[in-house]
Structure 1
Amino acid sequence: MTNYWLMKSEPSEVSVDDALAAPGATVAWTGVRNYQARNFMRDGMRIGDGVLFYHSSCAEPGIVGIARVASAAYPDPTQFDPQSPYFDPKSQPEAPRWLLVDVQMLQKTRNLTLAELRASDELRELIVLRRGSRLSITPVEPEHWQLILKKLGVNTPI
């Protein structure tokens, strides 16, 4: 069974264009430092799952691309790098605290803005729209996935 996810990235960190320009249009989703988001990657994500690529902390937050999970979860190397803003001195290589998955961009889309998402009654239960929701990774219900693809005019086999 395919699962669906919304994954937030700041465009200054990794944009949809950066992901498309990466080898194989695939990027390592580094820097997740929230246990619930980490657990989604570890316990819920499977290779081939659908991903809504979401730009956050920018002038027009919104869904800007369709991607897929391209790897199983594995240790995020940035947790061990003292030069990284994601360094975690309490995490040890023999017992890593933080994980990542690789994400492969399939298609850049128009920006389906946060305002447009909020204006849709059918999407009112989307986790990213809940007050106080700050998670960088959230599950997306299959019916929400289909509605979003329809709004974007995207037809993908995921």
Structure 2
Amino acid sequence: MAKWLVKSEPSECGIDDFAESPGKVIPWDGVRNYQARNFLAQMREGDDVFLYHSSCKHIGIAGIIRVVRSAYPDPTQFDPESHYYDPKSSPENPRWQAVDFTLERKLNQLMPLDQIKQLPGLESLPLVRRGNRLSVMPVSDDEWQIILSQT
């Protein structure tokens, strides 16, 4: 199974949205970056994912979520009322992907970016590299274990 990290503003979709109802399935849609979309397309049912809170007062890894439905055409791209509508996309030729997640576990406390940056072995993790703004990124098995050992 592959490992991933996704970023979201907690006001948009945070760990508490998953935790409020155990077993709740939340679609991860609205991604409009081609590289992030390509990573979503690689996700498979059962993959584990760190949920990272960004663009907020307290940024960091908030929990672990799991892929429960592999990539499928993001329905928001077809909805003219959606903020994520893409008039260049069609059901016959969709441009954007979504996946479905459910909660694996909420961390007892947020693991802040400063702590993550100080962990040996994470120098290649895209999250800690300068200028990386992707909302979806792969995490190697070794990087996953390093982070997991601190939770």
Partner of 1:103: 101
Which residue does 1:77 correspond to in 2?
75
Q: Given the two structures, how large is their TM-score scaled by the length of structure 1?
A: 0.90
1:55 paired residue number: 53
Do the aligned residues in 1 keep the contact of 2:47 with 2:67 (CA within 8 Å)? yes
Q: Deviations over 1:67-89 (max 9, x none)?
A: 11111111111111122111111
- The alpha carbon displacement at 1:48 in A equals 0.5
Distance (Å, rounded) in 2 between the aligned partners of 1:113 and 1:18: 19
Match of 1:140 in 2: 139
CA distance in 1, matches of 2:91, 2:17: 28
C-alpha distance in structure 2 between counterparts of 1:25 and 1:146, whole Å: 26
Q: Residues of 2 paired with 1:78 and 1:147: CA distance?
A: 36
Indicate the percent of aligned positions where both proteins have the same amino acid. 52
Unaligned runs of 5+ in 2: none
Q: Counterpart of 1:156? A: none
What letter is aligned with 1:151? Q
SS of the residue corresponding to residue 51 of structure 2 reads strand
Higher relative strand content = 2
Query: 1:91 — aligned with what?
Result: 89
1:128 Cα offset (Å): 0.7
Contact 2:22-2:103 within 8 A present in 1 as well: no
Instruction: Say how many residue pairs are matched.
Output: 150
CA RMSD of aligned residues (A): 1.2
Structure 1 unaligned residues grouped into runs of 5+: 153-158
Say if 1:22 and 1:39 are closer, same or farther in 2 by CA, change over 3 A. Answer: farther
| Structure 2 counterpart of 1:24 | 23
Taking structure 2 as the reference length, the TM-score comes to 0.94
Query: Do the aligned residues in 2 keep the contact of 1:20 with 1:26 (CA within 8 Å)?
Result: no
Give 4+ residue runs of structure 1 displaced > 6 Å after superposition.
Answer: none
Deviation at 1:20, TM superposition (A): 2.2
Matching residue of 2:5: 6
